[in-house]
Structure 1
Amino acid sequence: MGTAHDSGHMQAAIADVRLRLQKLASILARADRRVVRTCMHNQSPGALISLATVVSAALPLGADTLHIVKALSHSPEFRDSLLVHTPALLCALLTKANASQADFDEHAELGVLLLSHPLPDAVPLPASAQPFFLRVFDRAIHAPDVSTLEPIYRMLNGACRELLRLLPSEARRRFDKALCHILSSNSAGQNSMLLLWCIGVVVLAERPHYVEGIRSFLSSSETTKTPNGSPERPWKTASGRKLFGSASDVNKTINLTYLSVMWASKGDVVPDSEAIEGIRIATRTLAHVDQEMRIAWPNTNPRAKDAFLKLPTKILRKGIDIGVQFEALCFHAMVAGENNLPSHIVEQYEVNLANITSLYTDTESLRESLSVSLPLFAPQLREPAIQELLSKLLDISTRPTSSHLSTFLILVEELAPVIAHCAPLRSKILLALSSNHLQESIQGFLCSQERGIQEVGSPYRDMVTPSLHRNLVSAIISMLLTSALTAEPSEPGLPRSLAIALICKQQKLTQVTTQPSLMTPPIAHPSVSLFEQGCTPSTGRHLEDWRDRLKSELESQSFYQRDSVIRSVARICQELENRCDTVEEPLHLEQSKSRELAAQIEQLQKEVLSLESKAVDRTFYIDGLDAEIASAENEKNSMLSSLKELRTQFDIANKEADEILHAAREDFMARELQYQSTIITHEEDLKALIKEKGQLADEVQRRESENVSLRELHELDINAMSNENARLTDEVQRTEREKRSLSALHETLNAKLGDLELGIEAERLTVSQQADEINRLQAVTSQLNDLQFSHQKLVRSSEAALRDLEARHENEMEVASSKANEEYEHLSDKLQDALHVGKQATDAYEDTRRELQLLKPTINSFEAKVQQLNTVCSRKDEELEELRSLRSRVQALMSVPSDNHLPIRTSIANNPRTPRQHRRRKSAIPTQDLPPKATTGTQGITNTAMEHIANASFTSSDSSRDGSTPKRAKPRPTFKILSMNVSSTQNPVYPSQSLAKKLSPAKRSALGQLSPNRRHTIVGFAIPEKDEEEEHEGKDDFGLGKRRGSLGGMDDMVQASFDMDGFLAASTPFTPGNIACGTGRVPEEEESGTEL
């Protein structure tokens, strides 16, 4: 029995563990890789070892554990802890992955994750890694892509760095040939990330130890170079020569890597983690290129210069990931050189350096990036940034429990050698240490107490954290003393008091071991793996036999499994103890409650007789509640249908609004296109008119220039004619003077007339010639006048033609402008109409949406009301069941036969009688009262009238007083009374009436058989309303709640049958106003009724 019990507990524990593993797997499936890395990085080594122990123990439980290991293996810390705790896991996993294609597809990702980082020293590389690597590479050859080539790079960058050297020569040649094919393919040229992964594989295949000594590699590559700009050692592989074989190949490689970095820095093109690793590959690639060639590359061609200038803008864009930005800054600094870095690039690097805790969780990647970038940016770092960095280092060293100790330790370790070789950085650090800004931080750093192992318990969870803190403090002291000792005489020195204080603090540091307290005992493993035993020739050194190693591994696995089972059983036992402690106290409480309940049962048995009458009244009250529940359900159904109709109407309104809006938008777009075409047509017409106007202006200018030239020629002719006229006038005057002299000498020369006749005749000819000349001059003058007149006429015609042309074009422009304005106004009116239609559609949509928003609270209130009514109904059903059980117990105690049961809802539902209709009871939920709608059919019906109708069907109460025992009344035929249907949507308000209302026959049901000893039965007795009110005031706590209702708002009156057989078969006298309960007396403390 004990073994079966323990087995059951173990199975329950295993089921609980599986459930928790499924929950953890679902959480890790939704988490991002960076979140997992950060979470694991912030955990202590002891916690990581505990987690690795639990996960390795749960590996046989199911596939969920494999998903958990796959998600957590993105963290290098967890991966190392898992492999150290379970060394055989890697070999078993790779062996299973090599078994079949299905197993390879399932376990390939986890195998790549475990091999993506160097293995711990205690874990050798298994022999199954070789076929697994070749299988992954074959997949990359058949489908070259980022997803298939990235695993090759990560394994070569991790645990498989020396694996290629152990492969056969034929496999190495095939590997190199495949890389050359990928580099030469079009897919590599079109996919920048594929090109980067391929270049990274090429570099790691031939230079696997580049990452381990990057600083020494860079320093050696700067001193020893070949003519092609690569390090002195030549590249042996064809793929390496394809990248670095000549100067042109190197420039091409720089160009491709630079463009790929620009592509990775865009943001939304590739994931941030992939972009970070791709830029890091580009940085490693440029480390194999001479610095002079890197710096001279932007000047080789214009395209290189343009690309070089575009990268800083992409680095400094908003929203870029800080890790991508930091890697891109390192890459750009390698190309630009330490002396050509812009100030804004340096400022951004200072910002990233101040936020170094947000960069990486992988310490090796951070160390690599800092070792490349710090020597390049160090000479240009500003003094405020250095002060801020030193202040943060000193402050973090005073908080030993910080989760970023390893990050700052790497920063200090990488900064110390840079300080020794960079004079500007050293001078700024020494000046910062002497400034007043850092004095408080320095004093806090010097005054902080270092604690040893014996003080680790309270502030630390393990021993690694205090060791990191001690190493950080020691590294800071070493950095500061290095800066003081390597300073030149011209540089500022470290204050002597500070140097002495640092030396004293270094002496006070306690020695803290780096072995974690929760670390499991190390397992002795051989220094040579199985794969190395098969591939390495014997060196004569003694090696452990594989059988002994297999035996030790099996023993360690059984120890871990036994320890896990013991812990699980202990945890189960502890949970059982907790449950026992938790269960005992409620047991005592229940026992005390049972004793109290026994006393209460004895007291309640004394109250059975009084509760009998109240139970009967409650039965009637429950019947009324049943009817109200039915009406509430009907009302709920009507509300749900109304809600469905409202939702349908809302959907239809939304569709109509969307259609109207779509039509309005299409109309608006059509009108807009029409307006644009009209405007373009008018613009073309205006351009044509403007061109024609320019041509006319040119014609006018040409005419004016011709007129000016004619005017000038005319003036020249006038001047010439004036000169000629003046000459002729002088000649005429001279001739007239000579004529006068000749006339004067005529008398004296009369004698000589004969002699001079020939001379006179010649003179006459001369005078006639002169007269002809005068006539010619007069003709020229008249011609000149004609020319002047024609010139003036031409001027006037030109001016008139110009004015006519200007007037005509002005009229045409005015007409075109008026037409354009009219068309614009017409189009504007159409646009306003379209906007108005769109606005109306938007307003209709908004009105519909507001109406729906207004109806939502009503719908919610209706739903809440329905829920509350359901709750009330369920509670009343429970009360009904309690009352029924109580009635059966009372009847059993009173020895009353329970053949004639009171009517319940199930019997009513199965009874084929005409259903009785009750007026809906007013709900307890506060709702808005609607105004009453009185009808003529209900105004004449009162309580008294209904009482008379009921009294008419029973015998008088006086006749029952003469006899000792009332006789059973004969069965009478069924008669019908009027009942009114009240609409479920109407809720009229009437003045509140007394709680005690007359019960109509339709509300009564048959009672149980009465004892013949009951002498006090009152038949035909009715209590006035005034007495009812007095009795209502003295009602105790057992009274039923008010039954309020109204006859108002009835649409019609329907006759409802009342079964008298049920009353007469019970052999119980009835009163028309009040029902005789119990012994036949009127209950004094509680009355209940149902109002029609």
Structure 2
Amino acid sequence: MEDLHTEIHRITNCPYTPSLKKLHDILQNVDTGLLQLWARGNPCQIDAIAVIVLEALELWPFTLDVLKIMASIPSFRNAAVQQKPMLLETLFTNATDSKSGFEKYTAVCVALLSTPLECATPSEVPVFLLKCLEKAVQSLSPETIRPVYLLLSGVESSYLDILPFDILSSLQSQMIEVLTQIDSDDHLASLLCLAVLAKFASRPGIMEQSQPNVQSFPKDENGPESADRFLPARKFFSSKKAPKTLDLVVLKVITACSQSCQLGTDEIVESLKLSREIVDAFDKKEICFWQAGNVGKTKKLYAKILRPGIEAKVQCEALNFLVALSAGDLLLPEVIPSLKSYLLTSKADVLSTNAIEQCIVLLEDVSICELLDSLLALACAKLHPCRESLTKIDHALRLITIFMERIPTSSKLLKTVLQFISSKVVSDMLRQYAFQAQGPLRSGFVHCHSTIDVCPLLYREAQVRLHHSLVLMFLESALYASECGCHFDASMMTLLLGKTYLQSPAQPASTECTQRRPTNLIKPRVSLFEAVSTPRVDSVSLNWRDGLIRELSRDVDCRYEGVIRIIGEICRDLELRCNETELPLREEQSRSRDLQARMESSERNKAELEFQAQNHQSALNALEIERDRLANQIEATERRLKELGTSLDNIHQEFDHAKIEAERAAQAAIESARQQDLAYLATMTRKDEILEEQCLKLATAENHVKNLEHELDRVRGLEANKAERLNDSEAHIETLNSAISASECLVKDLQNELVQTKGRDASNTAKISNNETLIQELNSTIGAVNEASDQNRSLISTLKDQIREAEIERSEMQSQHQTFVSAKDAEIERLNESNRSSNDKWQSELEAARSRAAAANEQSAATIAGLHNKVRKLRKEREERAREFAKAQELSGRLMSLMGTNKHQTSSHGAQSRTPGHSERDLPSSDANSSDLPAAKSYTPSASSRAPKRIKRHLDSRTPTTCATKSLNPMTTSKEYRRSTMRVGRVPLADLGSMQGPGSLTPQNPRHQEHHTPKTEGAGEVPTQNDQAHHRFDSDAESFGGGDIFTSTDQQQLSAFHCKLPRHDYDETTTEF
């Protein structure tokens, strides 16, 4: 941006039309937003740069690219069209008529017509639009459809009604085909097609449209009416297809805002702008209906727009799309922080007015107070004039305008502003602001465009507007507060009113920016070559002297302009030669910069390699520490395994001991049970006889016995799978059988014994079950110990394998690191050696280049010295020519005075005659009017001139010759004054201009020249105007190549001048030659 400002300042201050090559190279890398930002801060340079670009169009072909890029600034485009009204017609004619120049001029024409014109639209626009449509129909792509969209955005849409129907129909069908392709991956092509269809659909129907007042094409006889021309486009925005179209647009926006989007930033911004324009073409009811049925897509859209890491420009355009998609409804609160962060920054240029209004409405009271505080602080601050300060002021003015529009309609905003004004801190700041001196506003800035990057007058006007708008907003808020019943400090309001009174009258600017060039430039005078060859002579007054003076003045002006033009061409040629001469130096400098960059990159690579080596070393140290830690862990694991083995052996021993003890206890229990069984069997056998004897007595107990048998059978079925319980059951059955055979008297004893036996059996069964449970627990413990030992063995083996792998990997990494370090050391040494050698080489080459540059500078200095010598020769020669012209003027004056005397003698025969001495006495003295003396004497015949032989008449002061001489003197004086004031601004040739003035054409010492005037016998005719023009053409055609520049020497010209003068004899009878 600084290079652009410096180059434009150089171009606008150059006295001739300079080369725009550097500006062309700068504009290739400048963003359109930065260019418009420069134009907003420097409007005074727009007219000057427009004039220079238009003049350079005839000199360099690359100026067309400069015009195309600068046409994105509307003020530049309007200035260019105002300076050259036929510019658009010429470009359109070149684009439509030439066979190969359409692509060359299309971009320039589209850039000039992308925004509405302030002047009348050229007549060639329909033809150009038709050709663009034909190109788009032949191959539909973003490159061919974008010019159509830009033209439809800039020119009137009524041109669509006069285009041929077949071209419009084929274009719409191809666009619909592109939109209906499911696998179409061209993001911009789809949105451009939809945007063009939206332009088509915005045309009114046949009942609404009026007859267009533009040039029309021949209508198609078979074509339908105007209402049917855009029917395919209207279908996409109808209520039937509107949801699908909105789905497509929203999906395109979600794709553009996603992190995986492959498009560039400019393409994403362009797609978001197209999407917003497409949404604006829908009815609000359709948008609300789509929002009600697509809540999930809306949430996803919000998530994509508010994702972290998104660029600010893309997010601002996406927020504008959200505002357009909301159709007047309020946005979600999650959007407000993002909008608030862009309000007073340069990104606020992208935000629309509706987005800022919604942000202000949704802001909290604290945020609104902070915003108002920042506006007041900006107004109180004394900022240096710069582009950033001007941008802040512009955004502050925009916010104040929105505040003033929303305060009457929003009670919340009005209440917040009133609370802000009522606070003590703000009241003190308002008092300070009201008492603030108006120094910067009254005195202005003395800076110029070379020190700041904005126009100082524009910055001052922006400050005045900011102060006035801020005070007006506070006063309106106080007015609304008084209507609501609130009261404020009257003194503060009085101060604000006084400040408003001081600022409100628009004081006329006494100074104008030095960079502003007037648009109504004065047309140059018609040169002598363009005028008639013979001067116009008034038949009544016979003022041929005035005509001669005008022709001589015009001749001098033409010569002066020719010299200026030639010097401008010489300067341009010298500029190009300097660029060509400095080209090797710039190449060497670029090579040096490249080598320096390569050296710096090598040093960075070296530092990175050293850092990587340090990282590898630290990684190796970390691996060694990890290895030691693993070794310690393995040792601890081995110790733990040994302890576990010892405890396992102890558990095995305890288990074996417990098993043996359990077996012994079981054998003892079994033996004791067997012994008891044997004892019971002996007792039962002994008592069988007793039982048999008591059978009758036990008849009553048979039923009971049967029940016991059934109980024994059930117990047998339950204890069939257990051998120990079966033996106990058999013993119990035998006991019961013995009890059955007992006598009736012993039944109770047997029952008691049976109860005791059951108790013992239960205790034995419990012991056996406890032993079985203990055995099962021991088995499970053994299994768990075995599993733990297996896991420990597998863990030990795995750890050993990891240790082996870590050692292998460590050895490999050590070997790789050593190899890598050695290779990188060798490479670094090689790079250092090559860098040293290349540095030595380039230093030698730089020394050679410096010597060549010094030689070139010396040569250019010698050339410039030669040019100065030629200019000095030119000045000397022009002085000599001035002296020659003065002599010729003196001769012509004498001849004319003599002719005037003769005519007077023939017209008045009774006139009185005087002597030459008496004539000289009648002339005014030098003290009376010294300014008229040289001219009078130059036209008065001297004593040395040839007089008539018959009679010598005295010149009367009232003769026509004397009157003409006196009348010529004030004209000569006025001409000198006009000459002195004509070329005040031309500094380089001021001394030449002074030499060419009328004062230099008259002799400085008239008396001395009067005595040395040549005789009339040797005098001849004065060279005519054609001879002078022919000699001027010869002098202008010469170059600076060698010898004299314009004419020959004064001796040759003087001899040729005397040779051309014919000799005449004086006839005394007729008083004529």
**What TM-score do the two structures reach when normalised by structure 2?**
0.49
Higher RCO (CA 8 Å, separation ≥ 6 residues): 1
**What TM-score do the two structures reach when normalised by structure 1?**
0.48
